[in-house]
Amino acid sequence: MPEPIAITAIASISPLGNEASTVWENYQSTNHFLALQTFGEKTAWVASLDKSSKTLVDNIRKSDPKYKSLDDSVLMAIAVARKAIDQSGWKTTLDFGINIGSSRGATALFEKHHEEFLKMGRAQTLASPTTTLGNIASWIAHDLQTQGPEISHSITCSTALHALLNGVAWLKSGMAEKFLVGGSEAPLTHFTIAQMQAMKIYAKENQPYPCQALNLEKTQNTMVLGEGAAVCCLESGKKQNALAYIEGIGYATELLEHNTSISTEADCFQKSMRMALENTNPSEVDVVVMHAPGTLKGDWSEYKAIEKIFPELPLLTTNKWKIGHTLGASGMLSIELAILMMQHQQFIGVPFTSEKVQPKRIEKVLVNAVGFGGNAVSVLLSLV
């Protein structure tokens, strides 16, 4: 990537909070933010927004009559988009691009409208426009009053990092000067939890750390769903207010052997990481923020792929043991963790693994994400 791409702002809303200082404080704790919640007649581990973040979303819903009919996935995205734009110094009148995706979109709202349809035999007027996937980017553009291109998409759990890829491509093409990219997910519904449980990948046991992401000795699947949104601002060239630079990007898709799994040694991750490191010696990478969803095959296959790429393993971490798997938003929340570790020069590990050694310096961090069907993305970040 000859001309650097700067990340000039990043904002998130998740179980960790919605302010950078609070998020960082909670990352330093060994506590997780998962809790048992009742869905129908069953309980399941989930990671919900903290009280402050729920209030923020509710206030946005009440701020405009048009927002009352929107799903939380849209409102969370609006909240983080506002914060990121404030941080970046962009004027809302600028025609910057927007690419905010979601794995599942307006999940709760879609289920609500469908339930009402089954009862009444007819759909409400706003059922369709408020549940389409393009709903997220279009409402953010409306809220920020920008006239730039709007893109919403779903590439399952790598959605947010594919949004970043799209933003980089638009900037490199010269078709845009600035791009707001990320993902938003509000999947904590009875039906969504049931779908994850049907695949037999969901956490069952009541243990101190219900999601055992990156524990390579676990004997059962322990994925837990979380809700959240995260976006970042991308600009071409060196910037005084840059938080980090995108030094390399990689992507790959495997041939499908199964609807939900990737190959034993995650061929897609090997290809995406190799592409992201095309101009970088692997030994220069200090940390890898893994996708590591807490499943047996998911964690192991990614670890095997990392072993193939790195002669000497860098430090490995993930945030899913703490905030659950936020599906389409998870990649950007991992980008946020990477930037925070570089800013504060502190490695945030997983408390039940052996990766607790602090490196002398954190200058380059590789972030991974992958979704159903083996659509992997790797992003190499470097310190300003």
Give per-residue pLDDT as tens, 144-189: 999 899 999 999 999 999 999 999 999 999 999 999 999 999 999 9
Do 187 and 104 belong together in one domain? yes
Residues contacting 63, CB < 8 A, separation 6+? none
Do 273 and 145 belong together in one domain? no
Do 205 and 108 belong together in one domain? yes
Do 150 and 253 belong together in one domain? no
DSSP code, position 182: E
Rounded to two decimals, the pTM is 0.96
Number of folded domains that form the chain: 2
Establish if 85 belongs to a structural domain: yes
Do 35 and 182 belong together in one domain? yes
What's the half-sphere exposure (Cβ side, CA atoms, 13 Å) at 291? 39
User: Which residue in 227, 183, 168, 172 sits closest to 371, CA to CA?
Assistant: 183
Q: 3-class DSSP state for residue 298? A: helix
Give per-residue pLDDT as tens, 19-37: 999 999 999 999 999 999 9
Bridge partners of 288, per DSSP, are 316, 366
200: tokens are 């037999």
Establish if 241 belongs to a structural domain: no
Last residue of a domain, one of 208, 236, 264: 236
Domain range for 59 is: 5-236
CATH number of 325's domain: 3.40.47.10
232: tokens are 């970042």
Establish if 186 belongs to a structural domain: yes
Q: Calculate the CA 189 to chain-centre distance.
A: 19
pLDDT along the chain (384 residues), means of 10: 88 98 97 95 95 98 96 98 95 86 95 94 93 90 93 95 98 95 97 94 94 96 98 96 97 73 86 97 97 96 97 96 98 98 96 79 97 91 92
What angle do the packed helices 72-88 and 51-63 form, to 10 degrees?
A: 90
Edge to edge, the sheet with strand 225-226 lists 35-39, 42-47, 225-226
Edge to edge, the sheet with strand 97-101 lists 150-151, 97-101, 178-185, 228-236, 5-13, 244-253, 375-383, 364-369, 287-289, 315-317
Do 293 and 208 belong together in one domain? no
Do 279 and 169 belong together in one domain? no
